[in-house]
Amino acid sequence: MTKPTAIVGGRVLDPVQGIDRLADVLLKDGIVEAITGAPGDVPDGYHVIDATGLVVAPGFIDVHTHLREPGFEHKETIATGTRAAAAGGFTTICAMPNTEPNQDNVSTVEFVLRTGREQGVVRVLAIGAVTLERAGKRLVEMAELADAGVIGFSDDGNPVADPNIMRQALTYSQVTGLPIINHCEEPSIAGAGQMQMGVIASHLGLTGVASEAETVMVERDIALAELTGGRLHVAHLSTRRAVEAVRRAKERGLHVTAEATPHHVSITESWVYGLGGAVPENGALSTAAYDTNTKVNPPLRTNDDVDAVVEGLAEGTIDLIATDHAPHAATDKECTYIEAAHGISNIETAFGSCMVPVHSGHLALEDLIERMTAAPARFLGPTAGDTELGSLKVGLPADVVVLDPSADWTVEPEAFFSKGKNTPLAGTTLKGLVVTTLYAGEVVHEAGARLD
Amino acid sequence: MTRVFVSQGPGGLENQGRLIMSAEQLRRALVRISHEILERNERPVAVIGMQTRGVDLAHRIADLIDSIENSETDFGTLDPRLYRDDLGGADKPVQPSQISFAIDGRPVVLVDDVLYTGRTIRAALDALLDFGRPSSIQLAVLVDRGHRELPIRADYVGKNVPTARGEDVRVLLEEVDGSDGVALVRRNEAPADSGGKA
Amino acid sequence: MARTRTATTAPERPREGSANPEAQTSQETPATQRRRAERARGSQPSMFGGLSGSRKNVLDLDDFSKEEIEHILQSADGMNEVLSRNVRKTPTLRGKTILTLFFENSTRTRVSFEQAGKVLGADVINVSASASSVAKGESLLNTVRTLEAMKIDVLVMRHPHSGAPYFVASKIDAAVVNAGDGTHAHPTQSLLDLYTMRRHLGDIAGKKVAIIGDLHFSRVARSDVWGLRKMGAEVRVCGPPTLLPYGLRPGTEKPDSAAFTGIKVVDRVEETLEGADVVMALRIQRERQDSGNLPDLREYSKLYGINADRLALANPGALLMHPGPMNEGIEISSEVAHGAQAVIEEQVSNGVAIRMAVLYLLCPRSATRD
């Protein structure tokens, strides 16, 4: 049995219990034993973690992680992906179904969950596909997948393009009570676009994706959710108009939730220039331009979109942060922008990226913690292995993260635990560090470990 | 000793230099060279100047020959940079070579301002031979400053000037610089070969 | 990083007028006058004292200074003279290897580079590859690395993907010349366009250039716009709204991007052409019709095609240009395409001289690399 642990002297933030005070957190037998009234003497026999000057919060929950296993183990495995998650402060992650084979059948889902238990450093939950092969034609056996433990359904990577299939999915999924998580992009508008439509795409000669590709699909899905009464979750919301659409849907009382990614709250389309977000002087491109690590779907948007997404997150229109961690092999990105795979390996940089709007004064730290813990826990509901997550209530799993919101650190992809080194943030300094991550009472990550 | 300020052109660095040829001395040297060319060649020569100042000198020599002989001397220009062995010439645009007459079977006088290592002349010989096969090629220079690196010598020399490697010979011509004269300047520690003529 | 170039500029020497040199030099002998005329024709005074900094690649004109463009245009005069000789060969790039790597067919551009390299004495190796056989970028990278391992000094590449030469240039040591990348840039075409304009019009500054057609997908137009603005020309554009770059389209926000400042968008083609010194018709690609950008080519021709009536709106003697290959009867009528104002074939022949000047500019740098 592991020695009990005491995390002492930190500012404890637990949005579910409304706790925000200096306190010690005692962990024993893999569960939370107590949160003291104030820092004080630690009982004998405890391993002590000094959190003075730091923030102690429930471990983060990511409802949108690409773990790539089975099928793409050269990009990521459940073992490496969960280790990376621990480095990012996440103690629960939800594996997206675009594996090979797809998570459209019970045996693949069981494989993911079992491998997660056996090899995972943190808790792995699974998301099932909406349609077979994620091809948008025939619904999966949703009830059976729900029994196998999926927490929702998504064809992520592909939208559910056919409105009728989406309608059926929203209707039928009600037998499970689980959400349909749609990648909201209307393919006929998005076309073969590679980045946000606009002046920068025009400058680079890249095909633009109009924001309306997202807006149109979000509006359609909201209409279908209203029609069917189904539970809709909008994946990686990224545009102002889509934020407005979700806001209106919530005002009408629809069962609609939404997520935003760390990159869509922190960086913009100008990062495609490869200059850390700067626009090249006099418009002259350098060989750093066409940074394939910025290619992501939905694309990096405009400043205005980022502002709107942060606003939406701050007011709760956007319920939660989800990473859309999308690791790729080097060869998937060492190519032309057009050939490059979509996605950013970001689970290890997520907290630092999400602190950008906090440091700029547009998002409260308490709200950010809520969007990464309590909110995704609410989204998961009681389905996550019959245990409540996302809180430090006594008796709940001892999943804890210790954060230093003001520590600077430089992103070095080579030091990632993830196999995916694909990040546009290489060399960038982030302010906001995950110091220690504990999963079920055990330390699974300590800052500096990456330096060993 | 006369001291003049010599502008090194757009770079803007100004050096004190020692005047080694006055405008009058320069004129006389060109007159003498023109006479020597006529003396040495029975048949009419073609005069070809090398970019940049060699062109102006050649132009003057051709004019002088004409005034002596009442002739119409063929005159051309040559940019030997594409024939250099060091690819060092790309700092200035390549100029067209203008040789609008046949050079086959006739004497040609190449004109340059300063003879130094001989490498530019080597390049010029190659360039010229791509235009034809002269009966002879002769070389006229305003200043021979020594330090040859190739077995090349001038047939007509305005003035022999012993120099150190750390010095530059600056030829000023009215056409380009506003006045005539030749100065010896000490090169700064700064990068060598800002146009040190070969 | 954006490169800034501090070019030193020498006071401009008055250019000797090409018109009637005899008039101004009446005391001179006929031979001297002839000489003067000879020189006026041949050598234009250098506008500046030399290039500062070193250029490794030619990827677009966006990072060129006016002085650097001027340098290339002037060198092209020298190169044209070499091309006019009986012996069209110099030893300049002897021992250098130039590789042309084309992922799209373009006999015209490839041959132009090959000829340029060979006249300057380089060895030229031509490789054509199909982008489809090189479906994954790994192969593009491996392809160029393999080729570079065979010791090449300059890689001239054309690729259907915008930015491909930027990617390659960031990975290899050889100099990279962009011979056209996707819908992004085609710098040597732009240089030869500028050169052709300058030969006919003299100084390009202040000249009115009307560019008509598909500016969104035209890499030539994009590079031309950079070059023309740097040289001080007035650029007006006109085309179907679906084929204008975002930011120049009606209704899109006024861009603050340097890529689009100083371009005047005109709604009607007639207005665009009025008083123009240069009319440039862009190639309309038939596949644009299928992708919904255009109703049909007939309507395009009616609205934007350059014909004699429209060309008459431009300045008398205005140049008519086209980057080729032309769709005669669509963006340009056969009558004007082969008329007196067309300099379209000259554009092609100037291409060799321009590419010689570009290779000459790059090769010394690649030679001194360690």
Nearest to A285 among C62, C171, C246 (CB): C62
pLDDT greater at residue C71 or residue B192? C71
Predicted pLDDT at C35: 62
Q: Tokens standing for B47? A: 């005069």
What is the gyration radius of the CA atoms in chain A, in angstroms?
21
Are C231 and C328 found together in one domain? yes
Give a yes or no: residue C48 inside a domain: no
Are C303 and C172 found together in one domain? no
pLDDT in tens, A48-103: 999 999 999 999 999 999 999 999 999 999 999 999 999 999 999 999 999 999 99
Q: Which chains touch B (3 or more CB pairs under 8 A)?
A: C
Give every strand in the sheet of B46-50, ordered side by side: B74-78, B46-50, B107-115, B136-144, B156-160
Predicted pLDDT at A384: 54
Are C96 and C219 found together in one domain? no
Contacts of C87 in chain B (CB under 8 A): 130-131
For residue B21, pLDDT beyond 90 = yes
Contacts of A426 in chain C (CB under 8 A): none
Predicted pLDDT at A308: 98
Residue A324 known to be catalytic: yes
CATH domain A59-383 topology:
TIM Barrel (3.20.20)
Give a yes or no: residue B95 inside a domain: yes
**Cβ neighbours of residue B35 closer than 8 Å, sequence gap 6 or more:** B68
**Cβ neighbours of residue A338 closer than 8 Å, sequence gap 6 or more:** A194, A206, C161, C162, C163, C182
Mean pLDDT value of segment A221-236: 96
Are C343 and C296 found together in one domain? yes
Contact B11 C74 (CB under 8 A): no
C89 touches chain B (CB under 8 A): yes
Are C338 and C356 found together in one domain? no
A206 touches chain C (CB under 8 A): yes
Q: Structurally, how many domains does chain B consist of?
A: 1
Contact C136 A339 (CB under 8 A): yes
Give every strand in the sheet of A123-128, ordered side by side: A60-65, A90-95, A123-128, A150-154, A180-182, A232-234, A256-260, A320-321
Q: What are phi and psi of C178, to 5 degrees?
A: -80, 115
Are C179 and C192 found together in one domain? no
Predicted pLDDT at B17: 77
DSSP string, A252-284: TT--EEEEE-TGGGT--GGGGGSSTTPPPGGG-
Are C303 and C171 found together in one domain? no
pLDDT greater at residue B192 or residue C189? C189
CATH number of residue B127's parent domain: 3.40.50.2020
**Cβ neighbours of residue C268 closer than 8 Å, sequence gap 6 or more:** C238
Beta strands per DSSP E along A129-194:
150-154, 180-182
Predicted pLDDT at A452: 39
Give a yes or no: residue C34 inside a domain: no
Mean pLDDT of chain A: 94
Residue with tokens 């402060």: A89
Give a yes or no: residue C88 inside a domain: yes
Model's pTM, two decimal places?
Answer: 0.87
For residue C5, pLDDT beyond 60 = no
For residue C298, pLDDT beyond 70 = yes
pLDDT in tens, C14-44: 333 333 434 444 455 666 666 665 555 443 3
Contact B94 C75 (CB under 8 A): yes
Mean pLDDT value of segment C201-224: 94
Give a yes or no: residue B195 inside a domain: no
Q: Structurally, how many domains does chain C consist of?
A: 2
Q: How far apart are CA A426 and CA A447, in angstroms?
A: 18
Residue A292 near residue C136 (C-beta atoms within 8 A): no
Residue C174 near residue C367 (C-beta atoms within 8 A): no
Are C321 and C219 found together in one domain? yes
Contact B66 C31 (CB under 8 A): yes
Task: Say which of A324, A332, A399, A404 is annotated catalytic.
Answer: A324
For residue B37, pLDDT beyond 50 = yes
Are C279 and C132 found together in one domain? no
C48 touches chain B (CB under 8 A): yes
Are C83 and C121 found together in one domain? yes
Under CATH, which number does the domain A5-55+397-451 receive?
2.30.40.10
Mean pLDDT value of segment B23-31: 96
Are C144 and C204 found together in one domain? no
Mean pLDDT value of segment A239-261: 97
Predicted pLDDT at C188: 97
pLDDT greater at residue C150 or residue C135? C150
For residue B6, pLDDT beyond 50 = no
Nearest to C2 among A202, A281, A335 (CB): A281
Contact B10 C364 (CB under 8 A): no
Domain with B50 in it: 3-186
Predicted pLDDT at B186: 85
Percent share of chain B, pLDDT over 90: 71
For residue C342, pLDDT beyond 80 = yes
Residue A235 near residue A259 (C-beta atoms within 8 A): yes
Identify the band that residue A155 occupies on the pLDDT scale cut at 50, 70 and 90: very high
Give a yes or no: residue C83 inside a domain: yes
Contact C260 A202 (CB under 8 A): yes
Mean pLDDT value of segment B67-73: 92
Are C239 and C308 found together in one domain? yes
C78 touches chain B (CB under 8 A): yes
Identify the band that residue A38 occupies on the pLDDT scale cut at 50, 70 and 90: confident
Domain with C130 in it: 61-185+351-365
Predicted pLDDT at C190: 96
C79 touches chain B (CB under 8 A): yes
Q: How far apart are CA A344 and CA A262, in angstroms?
A: 10
Predicted pLDDT at A42: 86
Mean pLDDT value of segment B4-13: 40
Q: How far apart are CA A30 and CA A123, in angstroms?
A: 13
Domain boundaries, chain A: 5-55+397-451, 59-383
**Cβ neighbours of residue C262 closer than 8 Å, sequence gap 6 or more:** C229, C235
Provide the sign of the torsion angle of the four alpha carbons A411, A413, A418, A420, taken in this order: positive
CATH number of residue C124's parent domain: 3.40.50.1370
Q: Which chains touch A (3 or more CB pairs under 8 A)?
A: C
Give a yes or no: residue B192 inside a domain: no
Contact C166 A331 (CB under 8 A): no
Contact B62 C31 (CB under 8 A): yes
Give a yes or no: residue B197 inside a domain: no
Q: Which of B87, B99, B111, B129 has the most C C-beta neighbours within 10 Å, making it the best mutation to test the interface with C? A: B87
- Rounded to a whole number, what is the distance in Å from the CA of C36 to chain A's nearest CA? 41
Predicted pLDDT at A451: 40
Give a yes or no: residue C343 inside a domain: yes
Predicted pLDDT at A43: 87
Predicted pLDDT at A448: 75
Predicted pLDDT at A319: 98
- Rounded to a whole number, what is the distance in Å from the CA of C169 to chain A's nearest CA? 6
For residue A415, pLDDT beyond 90 = yes
pLDDT in tens, A389-408: 999 999 999 999 999 999 99
